[in-house]
Amino acid sequence: MNHDTDPPMSPQERAVADALAQLPALEPGPELDARIQAQARAALRAKPRARPGSRLRWLNAGLGSAAVAVLAAGIAWQAGLFTLDESTQRAPTTTTSFPKKNGTRGVAPRNRCSTGRACIVQRNRHAAIAGRSGSSRSATCKYGA
Amino acid sequence: MHAHPTPASLSSTGADMIEPPTDEDLMLAYAAGDIAAFDTLYARHRAPLYRFIARSLSPRASADECFQETWARVVKARQRYRPDAKFSTWLYQIAQRLMIDQYRRQRPQVSIDDETAPMHLPIDTDAHPERQLSRFEAVRQLQQALAELPVEQRIVVQLRLEQELTLDAIGEITGVGRETVKSRLRYAMDKLRARLQS
């Protein structure tokens, strides 16, 4: 507040101020007083509520985390990082062979199976299984070879 | 910023209290749960605030509604209250905004209703009847002249000449600069003078 720099009231302003002071006094009625004071008391008694939206924020955070987890799992599955348990994934007992041009049997390339078809989708799984079992020859692919 | 007393110290009426608590202390104490602090604060401001509102809003029911809503907002905002500015400035800011909203919504004709009419002035029994009548007439003309001012100018006149606030405080309440306050006051005084001389 800057009281010192306020100019003093002019005589005209002072006259109006005096006239305003002569106006009938206005005050709130007792019922209005009672209503306002009751409102102030009720506000103190009221249980403080959680801030609006806080529950929604927790819900959003939970859903977001779940979505991220599902996305991460999907990416990992596609990348071949997940395989079925080895006990349920029976390794083939026979070696996957691939005919050589000269008639002898050879080993299938990592991205090809005995059907001779490119097994691009399963390539990474071949690699993962082969990595654990030590040889890509023990892998199976989606063509059943 | 000075240290604010605890709510307990505000509620007590012990003789060790030399200076009455400030409005800001009372508001903080109320926010902390001291209802007696609110009662003191309300008692301090009820009459001047009501006068401020009722001079601009008519009928009385509108003034009552605006007055109650002003205090309702004070109560609601108690937890967020920070004594950065004077409590009274904040209180009149709230009231002023509500008044202007209501005024624009309803475009009320500020009239001299029954309770504000000059006949409710205290009668000086020793005064000559003609002088008494003249006084009534002067008051009636002033009320009419005030009612004809644009609401922004009327608010400045009331805050400056009735509540005797500083120009800076009025600027804070009305959200305009000091020069604008001065300009509104000057225009209002010119209109009042012209109206009262005619």
Q: What is the pLDDT of residues B44-59, one digit of tens each?
A: 999 999 999 988 887 7
Give the CB-side neighbour count of residue A49, counting CA atoms within 13 A.
8
pLDDT tens track for A105-129: 555 555 555 555 555 555 555 555 5
A9, A10, A12, A32: best to mutate for the B interface, most B CBs within 10 A: A32
pLDDT tens track for B120-138: 445 455 556 566 666 677 7
CB contact under 8 A, A28 and B138: no
Report how far residue B167's alpha carbon sits from residue B159's, in angstroms, rounded to the nearest whole number: 9
- Please tell me which residue, A42 or A51, carries the higher pLDDT value: A42
Q: pLDDT band at B1, cuts 50/70/90?
A: very low
pTM of the model: 0.60
The answer to whether the CB of B149 falls within 8 A of the CB of A4 is: no
Instruction: Write the ipTM.
Output: 0.73
CB contact under 8 A, A16 and B50: no
For residue B38, count other CB atoms closer than 10 A to its CB. Answer: 26
- Please tell me which residue, B116 or B94, carries the higher pLDDT value: B94
Report how far residue A6's alpha carbon sits from residue B178's, in angstroms, rounded to the nearest whole number: 10
The mean pLDDT value for A50-67 works out to 72
SS3 B175: coil
Report how far residue A97's alpha carbon sits from residue B43's, in angstroms, rounded to the nearest whole number: 99
The answer to whether the CB of B35 falls within 8 A of the CB of B59 is: no
- Please tell me which residue, A145 or A34, carries the higher pLDDT value: A34
Q: What is the pLDDT of residue B118?
A: 45
Chain A: residue whose CA lies nearest to B60: A28
The answer to whether the CB of A26 falls within 8 A of the CB of B57 is: no
Report how far residue B108's alpha carbon sits from residue B125's, in angstroms, rounded to the nearest whole number: 36
pLDDT tens track for B132-166: 666 677 777 888 888 888 889 999 998 998 888 88
Q: What is the pLDDT of residue A116?
A: 54
- Please tell me which residue, A31 or A85, carries the higher pLDDT value: A31
DSSP summary character for residue A99: E
Report how far residue A78's alpha carbon sits from residue A134's, in angstroms, rounded to the nearest whole number: 22
Report how far residue B155's alpha carbon sits from residue B161's, in angstroms, rounded to the nearest whole number: 10
Cβ of residue B158 closer than 8 Å to a chain A Cβ = yes
Q: What is the pLDDT of residue A1?
A: 45
Model confidence at A21: pLDDT above 70: yes
Report how far residue B45's alpha carbon sits from residue B50's, in angstroms, rounded to the nearest whole number: 8
- Please tell me which residue, B48 or A24, carries the higher pLDDT value: B48
Chain B: residue whose CA lies nearest to A39: B72
Q: pLDDT band at B8, cuts 50/70/90?
A: very low
